[in-house]
Amino acid sequence: MKRATSKDVAKLAGVSQTTVSFVINNTPGVSLSEETRRKVLDAAKQLQYIPNSFAKGLKTSQSKLLGVFLPTMNNPYYPMLMQYIEKYTAKLGYNVILCCTYRNSEREKAYLDLCEEKRVDGIIYLFTPNWIKRVIQLSHTIPVVLLSEKSDEVPLNTISLNGFQCGQLVARHLLELGHRKIAYLLSSVTSVSLTRAKRLEGVRNAIRDANLPPETLRVLTAPQGDSGQSEAEAGYSMMDQLLKEGEITAVIGVNDLVAFGALSRVLNSADKKVPQDISICGFDNIYLASMAHPRITTVSYCTEALCKLAVDMVLKVSEDTDVLKLASEPQLIIRESTGPAPRGDIQALAEE
């Protein structure tokens, strides 16, 4: 008889594999209802599920080092993830090698060489690797986990940020508020980010599902330039362009940093207010989103729990041959930066 897997438990309980992992490991900082926990535990008992991947204990290690790859330090989102990872690994007696590539593939390759030389006990990627073949090769001797966007073509353990669903959540929120003139602001680094591309796909899908024309969404991309340039500045300059044209009622930043820049530009405007005239939202739920005035509507990934899960996945012995593909369950955080479309637009909508 084939041994039950976490995927089998998830299917029987009607939840995601990520939820199964959270329940089985009793992961702290995760808000789950008692009903959900009971469904998972009952399904696990019914299937006689033995969680090999997470219950065999920490493996014997020689280096007590983990390599964590991130694409930049300019976006507060990545230092936030690093803080969660370092805080958790320190409790486990591990040290972290911070491998910031600044989106340079040669730096990434050099850090991969370093991790192999130092015989790290695991590698965590906070973005989709550029050197996929090299990382797959390394994964045969060093456990690798991607905290990024899952791809069926990449045979690596992955915790997906579910960018597609994130885009859908934000777009549906704005559509429900009556917005039909929406701008999506992309920074110049979006072309190398699978997660950001998935967010845009999700937004477009929500608009199609609402039977609205493609013209409902206008996509702006910041000029290609120095990747070290602030994404907040990119959001500010693109918002400046939109204000001069005066047609948009809602703006989605590809992340909170871009949204913060757009918000800053509107706040400097003499005749526009947020959210009375323009609604603004982003993704990632960084600290700036909650400190801005008005606070920015955004999407949260329960990132601290996902970071702990990523660490557990690289440090714990697994006898399973199957590659784990888990997905986060993003949550829309509605704040003061989004509101109903201006009255004129709502009246026009009612007349359609």
Cα–Cα distances (Å) from 151 to 8, 10, 41, 258, 307, in that order, read 20, 20, 29, 26, 19
Mean pLDDT of 176-193: 85
Q: Where are the domains of the chain?
A: 6-50, 61-160+302-329, 163-300+334-351
Q: What is the pLDDT of residues 215-226, one digit of tens each?
A: 999 999 988 654
**Class of domain 6-50 as given by CATH:** mainly alpha
Which pLDDT does position 56 carry in this prediction?
44
Which pLDDT does position 58 carry in this prediction?
47
* pLDDT mean across residues, the chain: 87
For the chain, percent of residues with pLDDT exceeding 90: 60
**Class of domain 163-300+334-351 as given by CATH:** alpha beta
Rg (CA), the chain: 22
More confident residue, 19 or 73: 73
Mean pLDDT of 151-162: 84
Tell me the two tokens of residue 60.
């014997």
**Class of domain 61-160+302-329 as given by CATH:** alpha beta
Query: pTM for the full model?
Result: 0.80
More confident residue, 345 or 94: 94
Alpha carbon distance 98, 346 (integer Å)? 49
Q: What is the pLDDT of residues 297-316, one digit of tens each?
A: 999 988 899 999 999 999 87
Neighbours of 209 (CB within 10 A): 12
User: Do the domains at 61-160+302-329 and 163-300+334-351 have one common CATH topology?
Assistant: yes
Alpha carbon distance 307, 185 (integer Å)? 27
By DSSP bridging, strand 157-160 and strand 325-327 are parallel
- Sign of the four-CA dihedral 121, 26, 169, 43: positive
Alpha carbon distance 88, 333 (integer Å)? 25
